[in-house]
Amino acid sequence: MAAKPIIAGIDRLYRDDTLAYQRGRYQKLIASYKEYFQTDGENIRLFSSPGRAEIGGNHTDHNNGKVLAACIDLDIIAAVEPLDEPIAVIKSEGHREARINIDELDVREEEHLKAPAIMRGIAAGFKNRGLRTGGFRAYTLSNVGKGSGMSSSAAFEVTVAVILSYLYNGGTVDPIKLAQICRYAENNYFGKHGGLMDQLAAAVGGFVALDFKDMESPIIEHINVDFESFGHTLCIIDTNGGSGDRNAEYQTILNEMHMIAEYFSVQNLRQLVKQDIILNMNLLREKFGDRAVLRAIHFFEENKRVDKLVNALKRNDFQAFLDSVNESGNSSYKYLQNVYSCSDVEHQGLSIGLNIAEYALERKGASRVHGGGFSGGIEAFVPIEMIKLFKMELEKVFGNGSCHVLKIRPIGGCEVDKASIAE
């Protein structure tokens, strides 16, 4: 089913107290586009793709599990014009220009883990699905920190996909299809293998429970929640560890979970139950090692925990919700073991951050590792009356601006109404 194109004013995307800042940001974007491409920008169109917060379901999506995620008010914004020639050009501020021929879509090894691979893979994904593509040039600005755990990579992927959807398909490509195309590009062109959660959360928007039992037709349930009504706010703290090359660490989690699944002749852990692991514990430990077994156990418990989180919110039991957030973080630390890298034990920014957050919260709120782990960010639900002190304590260690106080954004990747950025 075709999606209805969204052209949103900035008042629908950002907090009221940031609108002046956002207008200036878009105006800077347009000026940078005109200067870089040496054009009057007569046909400029504006787009925005958000970062995401993972609330529950840490490393479950790649085994067809469940996730609770939120689209946030940090984003990549893009000024774009279509081109008559089959060339796609993206200049992201602070990065080299990325350029591809939109008609040359074979995988290229030299583009591994680089932006042109994403662009080429998304164009290929559009063509494979019978969708139209075409040339464009874009200038982008981002406040989704790279390596911060808010999935700047998925935000970039969705930006490219939304541009092609709106320029050449009337903005009607369904968000699920957009996310699947982005994942295809990431897995097959970019060289990073994972689930669908990051892309789908950024494409759909809002606060959503996602069930990936059928990866081709994931179940999306929008959850109506206002954390401020419960006296809390959502924070993500960038521990400034950088993303480094953690792709191998993420891949090891996926590989170990899949090895356990393959032992039982199934494709993923979602096709098993925890009792399968318990009844075969000694054989699995001997064959695959203890960490693989612990990671499988984490999957089953975390998958159930997503339902606990959703049900707690539905019955307005916020303390039960916070308890489950803390349980999720505890499981990631002890069983999934993605809080620091065993090959780099001298750098444990996430562990430091979690310790400081726990101290600053004084047994209130909740905190957990956020996203992929190993480096990047942690997440906290902070009582509103404690936010100034909490922010101060975390930024003492990780620097000014490292603690992001966030709002849930109701809209995913979309076109932005140019009239809304006028003074």
Q: How many CA within 13 A on the CB side of residue 340?
A: 14
The pLDDT of residue 246: 74
Write the DSSP assignment of 80-144 as a string of letters.
Answer: EEEESSSEEEEEETTS--EEEETT--S--GGGTTSHHHHHHHHHHHHHHTT----EEEEEEEE-S
Q: Inter-axis angle of helices 281-288 and 247-263, to 10 degrees? A: 140
Helices (H) and strands (E) in the chain, counts: 12, 13
Q: Is 151 left (phi over 0), alpha (psi -120 to 50) or beta?
A: left
Topology agreement, domain 7-224 and domain 227-406: no
The C-alpha atoms of residue 80 and residue 414 are separated, in whole angstroms, by 13
Q: Which helix (H) or strand (E) holds 423?
A: none
Residue linked to tokens 């109404």: 417
Q: For the domain 227-406, what is the CATH code?
A: 3.30.70.890
Residue linked to tokens 């009337």: 170
Give the number of other Cβ atoms within 10 Å of residue 164's Cβ: 24
Determine the 3-state secondary structure of 410 from DSSP.
Answer: coil
The C-alpha atoms of residue 138 and residue 381 are separated, in whole angstroms, by 36
Q: Where do the domains of the chain lie?
A: 7-224, 227-406
Q: Which two tokens stand for residue 97?
A: 């220009």
φ, ψ of residue 368 in degrees (nearest 5): -165, 165
Give me the tens of pLDDT residue by residue for the chain, a chain 423 residues long.
567 888 999 999 998 889 999 999 999 999 999 999 999 989 999 999 999 999 999 999 999 999 999 999 999 999 999 999 999 999 999 999 999 999 999 999 999 989 999 999 999 999 999 999 999 999 999 998 775 566 788 999 999 999 999 999 999 999 999 999 999 999 999 988 777 889 999 999 999 999 999 989 999 999 999 899 999 999 999 997 654 567 788 889 999 999 999 999 999 999 999 999 999 999 999 999 999 999 999 999 999 999 999 999 999 999 999 999 999 999 999 999 999 988 888 999 999 999 999 999 999 999 999 988 888 899 999 999 999 999 999 999 999 999 999 999 999 999 999 999 986
The pLDDT of residue 149: 65
Residue 414 has what DSSP assignment? E
pTM of the model: 0.91
Residue 4 has what DSSP assignment? P
Q: For the domain 7-224, what is the CATH code?
A: 3.30.230.10
β-bridge mates for residue 101, sequence order: 87
CB 403 within 8 A of CB 237: yes
The C-alpha atoms of residue 7 and residue 46 are separated, in whole angstroms, by 9
